[in-house]
Structure 1
Amino acid sequence: MSSLQTLSRGLTALELVAQKENGLAIAELAEAMDVHRAIVYRLVSTLEGHGLVTRSRDGRICLGGGVVALASRVEPQLRAMARPLLQELAERTRATAFLCVGHGDECVAVEVAEPETLLLRVSYRVGSRHPLERGAAGIAIAALRPERSEDSDALRQARRDGYSVTRGQLQAGAVGVAAPLVYPVDSHFRFEGCVGVVALQDLDVEAATAATVDCARRLVKRMD
């Protein structure tokens, strides 16, 4: 039990440091965690030994390069898990399927699959990005975030429905459907993301919505 508590405290410390652009002093971290400074010293030393945090000249604790290295390995694993499901979604809907993640106020496509038999496709490339308030993917990801008074009607609707449908917001004549990745409360792996499809106006929206929601559910289960 003590080992699990230590691990939990270490992860909590890492999360707290990540929330502060200029890092935290030992005293500030101890106060935020409500533990003795000696405990924080040991936690920080351990995290520092793994390169997950570093100490600035004035002694403040900041994220270390080890965090960047870990993050760089997540995307390839995520894409590998999502690829077969996206290809299946693309074939089922005869539309371009995608996996997008939230990056600040933008939505970024990290994996795309296209149906093999479709001649005319909507262009959607890996690395494409657009504001969260536009497009089915952006709205689906924004729906995962806390409610705000300035939220659009489309965003409020997406939260109620569990998916987003948009028409012509990013490309004239294109219809987009996206479902957010919603994780169980006790899930150990989670990130802001969605899966979806985009096609021209002949997309069967009802069928595409059902297939997209199912794909999102299966991807979350695969990652858990």
Structure 2
Amino acid sequence: MAVETAQTLDRGLRILSLVAASDSRFTIKEIAESLGISRTVAYRLIVTLEERDLLQRDEQGRLGAGFGMMAFRNAYLPELKSRAYAALTELADSSRATAHLTIADGDDAVALLVVEPGRSDLHVAYRVGARHRLDTGAAGKAILLGRQHAGGATPMASTSGELQPGAEGLAAPVLGVPGLEASIGIVSLHHIDAAVEPLVLKAARAVTEALTAGS
């Protein structure tokens, strides 16, 4: 019985991992084939996960992450901020602009971590928890670019005056971390020179490396 219970738990966790790591939704058949189990077994597991709000169906009956998954994500946020802090501090100081880590929350982008430069005559005060639509502002647009990324160079998003008059933004998606939709960027009241782009890309890569170290 203990072995059977452990196997059931393992399969349920594998379903959640499959869904969390993909932007796509799945049919029961696709989930069963991915796990190498029968559709009957997959169906029983899926029903249980739906009851716990860990999975939800769209209008076509395809399965994706449910709102219950938010509890797991929220528990991980302190660790995410801790691992990203060093990269953001280096970015803020090297660019002399306010640096931020932003995550996707539904259709919105939310600032999870903000680091102001240690040496700067004038910089933007950016509030942790600041929320805006994904399609507005460099941070959100970078996350959307990350969703579309299919390999090659890391895309970047730049904006001017979209969230605050006179402020410019530059951001890059954090790639290669399963289940995470995030971006690293800066916001400045000065013109952001193209020479700063490599600094933002370096910070985004550093966050990816910090989050995937040992995995």
Give TM-score, length-normalised by structure 2: 0.71
Q: What is the CA–CA distance in structure 2 between the aligned matches of 1:142 and 1:64, rounded to whole Å?
A: 20
Instruction: Call closer, same or farther: CA 1:94–1:12 in 2, change over 3 Å.
Output: same
Counterpart of 2:169 in structure 1 is 176
TM-score of the aligned structures, taking structure 1 as reference length? 0.68
Among 120, 124, 145, the residue aligned to 1:118: 120
Partner of 1:24: none
Paired residues for 1:204-215 under 5 Å:
205-215=193-203
- Tell me, in whole angstroms, the C-alpha distance in 2 between the residues paired with 1:169 and 1:127: 18
Aligned length: 188
Equivalent residue number for residue 10 of structure 1: 12
Q: Is the 8 A contact 2:28 2:43 kept in 1?
A: no
User: Post-superposition shift, 1:64?
Assistant: 9.1
1:197 aligns with 2:186: yes
> Residue 169 of structure 2 aligns to which amino acid in structure 1?
G
CA contact (8 A) 2:159 2:170 kept: yes
Paired residue type of 1:39: V
Aligned-residue CA RMSD (Å) = 3.7
Aligned partner of 1:83 in structure 2 is: 85
SS of 1:71's equivalent in the other structure is helix
What is aligned with 1:136? 138
Q: Matched residues, percent identical?
A: 39
The residue that corresponds to 1:71 in the other structure is 73
1:135 deviates by 1.0
Equivalent-residue separation in structure 2 for 1:41 and 1:191 (angstroms):
26
Q: Distance in 2 between matches of 1:176 and 1:64?
A: 30
- CA distance in 2: counterparts of 1:129 and 1:17, whole angstroms: 25
Which blocks of at least 5 consecutive residues in structure 1 are unaligned? 19-27, 57-61, 148-158
Asked if the contact 1:13/1:33 (under 8 Å) is kept, the reply is: no
Q: How many Å separate the matches in 1 of 2:113 and 2:12? A: 32
Q: 1: distance between equivalents of 2:30 and 2:143? A: 33
How far off its partner does 1:32 sit? 5.4
Note the alpha carbon deviations across 1:55-95, whole angstroms, 9 max, x for none.
Answer: 69xxxxx9696x44422211100000011110110000000
Q: Greater shift after overlay, 120-129 or 28-37?
A: 28-37
Query: How far did 1:166 drift?
Result: 1.1
Change over 3 Å in CA distance of 1:33–1:86 after alignment to 2: same
For 1:215 and 1:108, the matched residues in 2 are separated by 18
Unaligned runs of at least 5 residues, structure 2: 1-6, 21-26, 54-64
| Structure of larger gyration radius | 1
Shift of 1:171: 1.0
